[in-house]
Amino acid sequence: RIVYVNGEYLPEEEAKISIFDRGFLMADGVYEVTSVLNGKLIDFDGHAKRLERSLKELSMNAPVTMDELLAIHRELVTKNDLVDGMIYLQVTRGAPGDRDFVFPDPETTPSTLVMFTQSKPGLADSPVAKTGNKVISVEDIRWGRRDIKTVQLLWPSMAKMMAKKAGVDDAWFVEDGFVTEGSSNNAYIVKGNKIITRALSNDILHGITRAAVLRFAAEAQYEVEERNFTIAEAQEADEAFTTSASAFVMPVVEVDGVKIGEGVPGTVAPRLREIYIEEMR
Ligand code: PDD
């Protein structure tokens, strides 16, 4: 695999990052994941805009312009013959040459940009989408700026491990009795013609897939209600689903051992998945 590190395309074995990189020492970095279907980038503009926002919120400099970033994405697709899969990008506050809590001067410490591809043949026809995911609820103890896409993913990672241990697919975070989002996706329930999802705030990541799916849902005459919901409400809903750049729209068929509806994907989530893939590919 050919990866990108600070201006260079290299075989992955030759890519090197300083041990003083603040991404490594302090999780001082942000990331994006963009899907690729049949060689085409899905919603690059959305991801580029959110990256710019994440960088700004952390007073971090963009290592390249967004046009250059697009060119690197395309070059990685070409160099790796990527058909279906993802491109991961990470920007960190660079490597100041020592460990210090205080931010280094960006003039002397440029940010680090790393990018690599992940091949997922048949990504759009994932068999899991036909059966749906089972989830458990996990207390949301992440920090208060979940709207910034930082690489600080220890709790999401631990939540996925709890899910795995419980024999299910994923975890939904709960704070003050309400679902915030999934461990790596936004969470929704469906009641009749209505799609319910938590409103945007610092409590959740502003999903790029969320924005597109809600737009398509409105166009398809579904009602969209942005408000908090509980696990109990999800268990009594007609359907549930998640959205993310890597899994698009994914039906959720069980929460904390309770089946949602018949315990199989309903009609709304699969329809939204179809519309999303059709419109974006
Ligand atoms: N995760 N919420 C969280 C906590 C996420 O980590 C993600 C994305 C989302 C969905 O955002 P988007 O639709 O822009 O992908 C919501 C990515 C895919 C990941 O960490 O792999």
- Please indicate whether residue 185, judged by its CB atom, sits closer than 6 Å to ligand 1: yes
Q: How far is the CA of 147 from the centre of ligand 1 (A)?
A: 10
54 and 88 inside one domain: yes
Spatial separation of the C-alpha atoms in residues 96 and 20, rounded to whole Å? 7
CATH for 83: 3.30.470.10
183 within 8 A of 170, measured Cβ to Cβ: yes
Q: How many domains does the chain have?
A: 2
Give residue-wise pLDDT tens across range 22-64: 999 999 999 999 999 999 999 999 999 999 999 999 999 999 9
Domain end position, chosen among 85, 100, 123: 123
Pocket test for ligand 1, best of 118, 184, 210 (most atoms within 8 A of CB): 184
111 and 157 inside one domain: no
Give residue-wise pLDDT tens across range 77-121: 999 999 999 999 999 999 999 999 999 999 999 999 999 999 999
Q: Which atom of ligand 1 is nearest to the CA of 46?
A: 14
Q: At what angle do helices 268-280 and 208-219 cross, to 10 degrees?
A: 110
Domain end position, chosen among 103, 123, 143: 123
Nearest CA to ligand 1 atom 6: 184
Q: Which atom of ligand 1 is nearest to the CA of 50?
A: 14
Q: Two tokens at 152?
A: 């600080």
136 and 115 inside one domain: no
Pocket test for ligand 1, best of 180, 244, 276 (most atoms within 8 A of CB): 244
Task: Work out the widest C-alpha separation in the chain, in whole angstroms.
Answer: 59
Residue written as token pair 């058909």? 83
143 and 248 inside one domain: yes
Spatial separation of the C-alpha atoms in residues 26 and 172, rounded to whole Å? 26
81 and 149 inside one domain: no
Q: How far is the CA of 146 from the centre of ligand 1 (A)?
A: 11
Q: Kindly indicate the confidence band of residue 152, based on its pLDDT and cuts at 50, 70 and 90.
A: very high
Catalytic residue annotation = 149
In this prediction the pTM is 0.97
37 and 112 inside one domain: yes
- Please indicate whether residue 209, judged by its CB atom, sits closer than 6 Å to ligand 1: yes
Domain end position, chosen among 123, 158, 190: 123
Q: How far is the CA of 163 from the centre of ligand 1 (A)?
A: 17
Amino acid at site 241: F
Q: Where are the alpha helices (DSSP H) in the chain?
A: 22-26, 44-57, 66-79, 128-131, 154-165, 208-219, 231-236, 268-280
Tell me the three state secondary structure of residue 251: strand
What pLDDT is recorded for position 11? 98
- Please indicate whether residue 186, judged by its CB atom, sits closer than 6 Å to ligand 1: yes
Task: Name which of 250, 245, 273, 280 is nearest 89 in CA terms.
Answer: 245
- Please indicate whether residue 180, judged by its CB atom, sits closer than 6 Å to ligand 1: no
- Please indicate whether residue 184, judged by its CB atom, sits closer than 6 Å to ligand 1: yes
Q: Which atom of ligand 1 is nearest to the CA of 209?
A: 13
Task: Name which of 193, 205, 187, 201 is nearest 243 in CA terms.
Answer: 187
136 and 109 inside one domain: no
Task: Name which of 133, 129, 178 is nearest 276 in CA terms.
Answer: 129
Q: How far is the CA of 207 from the centre of ligand 1 (A)?
A: 6
| Domain span including residue 58 | 2-123
38 C-beta neighbours (distance < 10 Å), count? 10
Spatial separation of the C-alpha atoms in residues 259 and 256, rounded to whole Å? 8
CATH for 242: 3.20.10.10
- Please indicate whether residue 86, judged by its CB atom, sits closer than 6 Å to ligand 1: no
- Please indicate whether residue 243, judged by its CB atom, sits closer than 6 Å to ligand 1: yes
136 and 255 inside one domain: yes
235 and 98 inside one domain: no
- Please indicate whether residue 54, judged by its CB atom, sits closer than 6 Å to ligand 1: no
99 and 32 inside one domain: yes
Rounded to two decimals, the ipTM of the complex is 0.98
86 and 56 inside one domain: yes
Q: How far is the CA of 205 from the centre of ligand 1 (A)?
A: 7
Spatial separation of the C-alpha atoms in residues 192 and 224, rounded to whole Å? 11
Mark 44-69 as b/e (b = at least 16 C-beta within 10 Å): bebbbebbeebbeebebebbeeeeeb
Q: Kindly indicate the confidence band of residue 275, based on its pLDDT and cuts at 50, 70 and 90.
A: very high
Give residue-wise pLDDT tens across range 210-232: 999 999 999 999 999 999 999 99
150 and 206 inside one domain: yes
